[in-house]
Amino acid sequence: MHACFSNWFYDIFNVAFDYMPEKHQNKALCVLNFSGRFGGAEKRYATLFNHLMVQGADYYLIMNTRLYRLLVNSFLLRASERIILFNDGGDGIPRAHVNSRKQAQEVSRKSTARLFLGRWKYFLRTMLLWLRFSLFFIRQIQKKQIKTIYGVWQGGIWTWMWCRLLKVKLIFSVNSSGMLNMETNVTKFFDSQYWVLQHADVADFLSPSLKENYTREMGGKIGGHCVVTPNSFIDYTHYYAVFPKKPWVVFLGRLEPIKNPMIFLEAVRIIQQTMPAVEITYFVMGTGNMLNSMQRFVSRNQLRNVRFTGLHSKPWQILRESSVFVSLQRDENYPSQSLIEAMACENGIVVTDVGDTRMLVTESEGLFTNAEPMDVADNIIKLLINPDLREKTGEKAREKVIHYHTIDRFARWFDDMMND
């Protein structure tokens, strides 16, 4: 094992210090996610890259094949000769979430030693993949003469040390609310934002509240300049309303505690108890650790017309015709991709008033709710039985996103930042 690591590091540093004349100042997005899933950040920057290619902009995209196939199969990313692929396998089929907390508890009951060994096994396996990626990354940086990297998720976490070594400017995109993935334990090194935030040249925060929260929690350890993304965006091509709307209510997002999906189901139970004769279809779109418990809840409470779609490759097919969209995030609804998609489709919006949510939704575009089942149920019913209110707020919602949350606006800002 020691000899294997030594050979890897020898090869990497050999490549890293190999001289290459500097002729160009090329730029690249580096978007990596080895989990077999993707979220709003990956969708956002796939859409951006598509736009940059249509505009003839001089950018590369560095991505792992597993993520690439997922995004292509979901019609979110178009093939391009400017995409540089790192082969990590994968067939483009979304992987089920593993309930790591439950798994850890089960292992802990069996043996603390086995849990300890499992963490180190994961670390060593991930380190081997990182070493292989590092050799690939350094070669591509030198071959393409890339001097600025915009790193998304592991695209920054896995590259910051090589960017420093090769004098490549690194801009790291901070998308996670709730201070996620900030572990300092060495076994979490390849999943933690803690170190990249200290070494990136620029930290680009998705919202003002994210910047405030991370700056406060890091205690002055963020090493680079901090900026805030001016707006979010989607590709609006497929997102528009189809009338007449159907009595459909949608929850779309990762099925994790931070998204409060169980509160949605509890609200559904209240609605069905309150309005037993009314036929409403409820869509739960997404995957996550809570999927099994949510399905059991539906079965146990005999809830009707609740459809779990999993990771839907064409969410617009539902959102165009749905009447109400519910976003119950614990910390932040801005700038949710799915929320913008629903607003573009003129859904009536029920949303928690947290973080910077009002940068996207105000009383003119939706209804604010407490993260309590009864309040959520009341607001859903209010929109379902009041089509005039639903249509008025829906029209305002679409008008707002298509005018202010555009890819053209973001791309101009992004290009200026990358060329600064």
Q: Which domain holds residue 260?
A: 236-404
Q: Are residues 209 and 79 in the same domain?
A: yes
Q: Are residues 215 and 331 in the same domain?
A: no
Helix (H) or strand (E) holding 53: helix 40-54
- Report whether 252 contacts 325 (CB < 8 A): yes
Measured CA to CA in angstroms, residue 383 lies from 248, 283, 375 at distances of 11, 16, 13
Q: Are residues 75 and 200 in the same domain?
A: yes
Amino acid 227: pLDDT: 96
- Report whether 67 contacts 31 (CB < 8 A): yes
Amino acid 11: pLDDT: 57
Amino acid 120: pLDDT: 86
CA 342 to chain centre: 16
Q: Are residues 294 and 316 in the same domain?
A: yes
**CATH for 61:** 3.40.50.2000
Euclidean distance between CA atoms 398 and 365, whole angstroms: 9
- Residue 12 in domain: no
Q: Are residues 74 and 156 in the same domain?
A: yes
| Structure tokens that stand for 415 in this block | 């290009």
* Domain total in the chain: 2
Residue 109 CB coordination number (10 Å) = 9
Amino acid 248: pLDDT: 98
DSSP assigned state of 177: S
Q: Are residues 209 and 255 in the same domain?
A: no
Amino acid 103: pLDDT: 46
Of 374, 353, 360, nearest to 404 by C-alpha is 360
Amino acid 183: pLDDT: 81
- Residue 335 in domain: yes
Q: From first to last of the 420 residues of the chain, give the pLDDT tens digit.
A: 445 544 555 555 555 555 444 455 799 999 999 988 888 899 999 999 999 999 999 999 999 999 999 999 989 999 999 999 999 986 555 554 444 444 444 444 456 666 667 788 889 999 999 999 999 999 999 999 999 999 998 999 999 999 999 999 999 999 876 656 778 888 889 999 999 999 999 999 999 989 998 988 888 899 999 999 999 999 999 999 999 999 999 999 999 999 999 999 999 999 999 999 999 999 999 999 999 999 999 999 999 999 999 988 899 999 999 999 999 999 999 989 999 999 999 999 999 999 999 999 999 999 999 999 999 999 999 999 999 999 999 999 999 999 999 999 999 999 999 998
Helix (H) or strand (E) holding 326: strand 324-327
- Residue 14 in domain: no
- Residue 318 in domain: yes
Q: Are residues 37 and 154 in the same domain?
A: yes
Backbone angles phi, psi at 410, to 5 degrees: -65, -45
Backbone angles phi, psi at 392, to 5 degrees: -65, -50
Backbone angles phi, psi at 394, to 5 degrees: -65, -45
Amino acid 94: pLDDT: 55
**Total residues belonging to the chain:** 420
- Residue 7 in domain: no
**What would the pLDDT profile of 205-246 be if each residue is shown by its tens digit?**
999 989 998 988 888 899 999 999 999 999 999 999 999 999
- Residue 3 in domain: no
